[in-house]
A and B are shown apart, each in its own frame.
Chain A
């Protein structure tokens, strides 16, 4: 199989214009004759559904939550990047493009990233017009901050709730279309399979989470905006409901899954406090601007932090990276925290934590200044841990936060199944091996508001689709398959709960396919995952029935998919014999212990095809060319 990303030829600056000009258009009067399914109602899904509704298509939008407004985009704190250059500090579309490709450690597609940077400008305009209350200067203009180590201030924000405000903007636009009758919303409805007829995506099979009804929904195109798969690790900063099921089942129906091992770890989360822990809470990265990270110099030093004198402390980031210090990129900061904890120098009861200390900053700037900058974060930390960070250093530990991998899509955001489009975190396209801060919101909205509404139109205009009805054998097959899986899960009635399996799976993936990976560990992990999966299908206990509201059943189906995904992640990580971005293979590091990329052999997208469970997946490579940003070694010394 050959992958064609359909990147427009010619200069990158004109690529998107050229692509748009070459697209076929759907006559305005004909738009209402086309139906489109959007799965997911986060930034990408809601913005796509709203925009397609505005254009006049008949849209059905699905989410498993009780309302589209709950999608996990809502939890993004920091901000959204845009190359507006409002601060006159030298930003430009090209610079945002450059930073993003470089930040992605040269594993993303240049043309996609360039388009993202171009569109970033329109996103801000659109959101402001929708009433997103971005932070303002006294004069009434939009204000910006520098974020995630960027050298320009290009991040727009609404307090610490930027994701919430952007999502509510998209949600409101979506609800406006619900009122207008162009969008039909299906909350508490989970997609369980994709319907592919004559090699084209034509619909989905869903389960109504309240009544248990299995329904089919047919359409001319299907868009998946179902988010990332960080919950494969059980503990992550993702919402509890976030899952891989929609994209995984599409993968099993033929869509290639790209770069599954590219996952991002966020260095500043509140550490795990016990076995009951259900999720990890992120603390904004901005804390590292003023906090100093340290651990005791000696192993097993159990003294209280204020009893440890200066000479017994190891400010390891400042020591190892004198020029960047505590502000090294996410992956570097995370990995180093793991190292010191592995050495037995971690702090807190579990020994999995490092101190983030504000004592110096408070002494230098005064408590008031720190309160102004981080007051709400300190309050949140205290609420969760019952420790006062003004007095005791915070304890932090890395946690899974974002997944760069996802379904493979071409320049038009179409997967390898014609008619199946994938937007937002669910696709793989723009962040390469590492995502920069404040770029996820940008990508979700860019895909949803400004890209997929055009490219779906092009697809509809260029493909003549036959009428189908529910008697089609592919549809009956898909429904039967879904019903079987549900029945199977309910009938096992074993001795272990879904959560206990999920927790165990998470530990394996975190241990061997988390912050740092080795060939041996990955092989080991694959064996363990397979064993656990086998046990799952014999020993899981899913109570209740399939005919009503059954949260255990919902989880059971999702965890079943996580098992298969976890295996593919390990296979992908094992295949990629290099270190890049969030993927760190211990065998491939520089003398200083930094990630060692292998551009000669691994400058490609690894897209995997499903060949049935138990069969090794097919690897299809999409070579990456870097015409504009030339690969270089990252260094933060």
Chain B
């Protein structure tokens, strides 16, 4: 069987982006950006427990220099787009790579979180869109009046609606799953793995994921339980 040579795309960035490894590297790096955001966002949000003054001041601070705010927003938006785009490319490839599935397949070495990234991801995306319309733009706000600039009021009022809180909590748990796999996987994707350190990294990812979920979930729970009014 003679070897027929086929040349591939000439442009290096295109070739990189065409490759599964390139897509995973993009996904890892954008995931890292989003991971940092999620942590920072949590730390900001937790100020709800410090009372209205602190949280509203924090809100004003964020919007203090619109140029920086927009740069951050653009970076985040780009990260989200690339993260999703690469996952779509990988997802389509996955569908093509095994046209006939197994009648029976056991999973013996992987985590539930890692196998459900294609589920947790889109749901988190849906949540983020809702969340922006809900508390950033104030367009969708069932059960309360949105007051521009009064972050504390908006948060507390919205989470007093039980189904809003429930949806929020559900999404945050999925985010936890997503982070549990993603937070170590991004190291693997860019090529950082070490026989000894990786197991620490994997455990750390699990711990961070749990803390993240607890942190985020504490806000609606605190409001529903009346700890924050």
Contacts and interface: CB of A to CB of B under 8 A. Distances in A.
A181 B4 CA distance: 8
B126 interface: no
11 contacts: A178-B3, A179-B3, A181-B2, A181-B3, A181-B5, A184-B1, A184-B2, A184-B3, A185-B1, A186-B1, A187-B1
Contacts of B2: 181, 184
A178 B5 CA distance: 11
Interface in A169-185: 178-179, 181, 184-185
Nearest to A178: B3
Contacts of A186: 1
Interface of B: 1-3, 5
Top 4 closest A-B pairs, CB basis?
A184-B2, A178-B3, A181-B3, A179-B3
Contacts of A185: 1
Interface of B is mostly: loop
Contacts of A187: 1
Contacts of B1: 184-187
A179 B5 CA distance: 8
Interface of A: 178-179, 181, 184-187
Nearest to B2: A184
Contacts of A181: 2-3, 5
A217 to B, nearest CB: 13
B70 to A, nearest CB: 50
A277 to B, nearest CB: 30
A185 B3 CA distance: 9
Contacts of B3: 178-179, 181, 184
A339 B215 CA distance: 77
Contacts of B5: 181
A129 B5 CA distance: 27
A185 B5 CA distance: 15
A245 to B, nearest CB: 22
Contacts of A179: 3
A178 B2 CA distance: 8
A59 to B, nearest CB: 12
A178 B1 CA distance: 10
Nearest to A187: B1
A184 B5 CA distance: 13
Given A181-B3, A184-B2, 7 more contacts: A178-B3, A179-B3, A184-B1, A184-B3, A185-B1, A186-B1, A187-B1
A186 B3 CA distance: 11
Nearest to A181: B3
A184 B2 CA distance: 5
A185 B1 CA distance: 6
Contacts of A184: 1-3
A187 B1 CA distance: 8
A184 B3 CA distance: 7
Nearest to A179: B3
Nearest to A186: B1
Nearest to B4: A181
B47 to A, nearest CB: 56
A178 B3 CA distance: 7
A185 B2 CA distance: 7
A10 B91 CA distance: 71
A181 B2 CA distance: 7
A204 B1 CA distance: 16
Most chain A CB within 10 A, of B1, B2, B3, B5, is at: B3
A62 to B, nearest CB: 11
